[in-house]
Amino acid sequence: MAISSPETRFNRSESRNTSSIGGFELKGQRLPFVNGLNAIIGENGSGKTTLLQLISGASKKSHVSKLIRDNDMKEDGGVDPQKIKYIEQGQIIEKFNAGKLFSSNEDSNYKEIDHTDFKEAYSTFSEELKKAIEACIKRKEKVSSLADALITFEDGMIAENYYVDVEENKQFQSIENPHESALKDINTALIKVKALLENAYFSAYRTQLDKVANELRTIKDDIQKKWAVVAYEAKVKNIMHGSIKDYLGKVKENSSAKDRQIKEYEKKLQQFIDLIVEAVQVSVLDIPWPQIPPIFEGMTQNPKHGFYFNKEARYNGTSMEESFFAKMFKKSYGNIEALQAIESYEKYIDAIRNCTSAQEIDDKWKENFEKFISESIEANEYIMEGTDRQVGNTLGEMSLSYYKFFTQDDQDWSILIVDQPEDNISNNNISQKLIRYFNAIRGEKQIIFVTHNPLLVVNLDADNVIYLKNDGGVISAYNGCLEYEDEETNILELVAQNMDGGKETIEKRLKIYGKGN
């Protein structure tokens, strides 16, 4: 077996690993580890996990520490703990259930998704949609109010006093600058371009970015001038509004009863005229209804060790129009056409999900929108092996992929210690894949594992098999390569007698070399 196998110790090249555990002591007996593949076997409770915790430097429970003391167990020192990768029994299940199987030191292999563009687009859409609905209601109210508008003409209501008659203009009370938002956006764009210019990565594009910055500055200067005109107008109107208020207050103090009566009549007349003007203005006003935002990409992909760690938001490559309307409004208001028919606050309240009064409109709108955003940016994490095969999310499939992933990572560790790597993995996948992963690194890493599966001992052609036995708390050990045999120890026989399916596995293996019957 040792001579004929193409994977034998005599044929196998010397390990390139420069950091390994030399062995351990058990009551003065030294048992070596080889700088290759070491399999630890034995019944449950024989001390296999205790040995792994001893050599890995892992924290030990009280019963483990007692077993170590009672058997005078010592590990070889001098190995940097950072060079050891220790996978405890149950650790894969624990990390799998926590969604952190492929994470390292709390650092996820899944890159975060930038949702900024998606959020801004739908936030703007939501705000403009709300304004459009409320503009429809306002138009209907203004036109309907004409039916109740009434004023009685009264003769002789002409002001006769020494005061100059000044009318207060409502438009002077407040002025919204239509250039405010545009100026803010262009400033934001300039800040971003400036950041790119300061980024060393974009040094090759400095000329083009300088041109972009200059163009943006030109646009900003033009918008700034328009903004300044309106801002100056607002300032002047504000001064005029204050002065008129002061003047009218003084006039009122010095007016007679008749003067006040005339003034009240003039006020009612002006309100009547204003009502007509406003009704005409809103009736011919073209209400701008916003366009549904485009489809956005919301996905990241991180290639690592032959795998792709993908994180994909729900909105990725998908129209969220139906989802938006379903989350914001009741079923009968599931499109813009239905919303355009809303011309009263009663219908407005009825349209918004979970809204029961006019006082709740703003809060429920905001609450529904936040739920829509929250659900839209929910991300699904999945792993691709290569570019065409998605790794299944069962525990067995993920465990197998986990072993493949980290056995291809040769940067940080030199010694792999695993407690029962066969857990959750079928015998077929152990034979076809897991053994191949361990074989791929045995010439570069020291591998020490505890196992109850004979496939990982026999089919891996273990360089060193350590058999542990616990007799009332007293541990004894035997070791040797797979084909080792002397007067006291026969490794193949220990495998056959102490591992379920060990005899059958050895017989199948021996048939390869024409020795088994």
pLDDT of residue 17: 74
Residue 391 near residue 397 (C-beta atoms within 8 A): yes
What CA–CA distances, in Å, run from 130 to 35, 288, 329, 332, 340? 71, 11, 12, 17, 11
* Token pair in block for residue 276: 């007509």
Q: For 243-393, where are the E strands, in sequence order? A: 299-304, 307-313, 379-385, 389-390
Per-residue pLDDT of the chain (517 residues; tens, 9 = 90+): 554 444 445 445 567 777 889 899 998 889 999 888 999 999 998 899 989 988 888 767 787 888 888 888 888 877 888 888 899 998 899 888 887 888 766 677 889 999 999 999 999 999 999 999 998 898 887 777 766 667 777 666 665 555 566 666 655 556 778 898 899 999 999 999 999 999 999 999 999 999 999 999 999 999 999 999 988 888 888 888 788 778 777 777 776 676 667 777 777 777 777 777 776 766 667 788 999 999 999 999 999 888 899 999 999 999 999 999 999 999 999 999 999 999 899 999 999 999 999 999 999 999 999 999 999 999 998 999 877 788 888 899 999 998 988 887 666 789 999 999 999 999 999 999 999 999 988 888 899 999 999 999 998 888 899 999 999 888 999 998 888 888 888 888 999 988 888 888 888 877 765 554 4
Residue 108 near residue 61 (C-beta atoms within 8 A): no
Query: pLDDT tens-digit profile of 129-140?
Result: 999 999 889 888
State the DSSP string of 44-63. Answer: TTSSHHHHHHHHHT----HH
Apex 413 CA angle, 408 and 416, nearest 5:
80
Domain range summary for the chain, segments of one domain joined by +? 23-110+392-512, 116-284
DSSP 161: S
Residue 457: alpha-carbon gap to chain centroid:
41
Nearest to 241 by CA among 301, 328, 173, 148: 173
pLDDT of residue 178: 86
Longest dimension (CA), the chain: 136
pLDDT of residue 264: 75
pLDDT of residue 339: 95
State the DSSP string of 261-292. Answer: HHHHHHHHHHHHHHHHHHHHHHHH----PPPP
- Name the architecture of domain 23-110+392-512: 3-Layer(aba) Sandwich (3.40)
HSE, CB side, 13 Å, CA atoms: give it for residue 201. 2
Between strands 474-480 and 23-26, the pairing is unpaired
Question: Rounded to the nearest 10 degrees, how much is the dihedral formed by the CA atoms of 328, 331, 337, 343?
Answer: -80
| Residues forming beta bridges with residue 470, ordered by sequence position | 475
pLDDT of residue 482: 83
Show Cβ contacts of residue 103 under 8 Å, excluding neighbours closer than 6 positions. 95, 109
Rounded CA gap, 376 and 315, in Å? 6
pLDDT of residue 28: 87
pLDDT of residue 277: 74
Sign of torsion over alpha carbons 135, 136, 139, 144: negative
What CA–CA distances, in Å, run from 402 to 44, 204, 448? 26, 40, 17
| Residues forming beta bridges with residue 308, ordered by sequence position | 303, 384
Show Cβ contacts of residue 92 under 8 Å, excluding neighbours closer than 6 positions. 101, 395, 399, 402, 423, 424
Show Cβ contacts of residue 393 under 8 Å, excluding neighbours closer than 6 positions. 382
Residue 362: alpha-carbon gap to chain centroid:
29
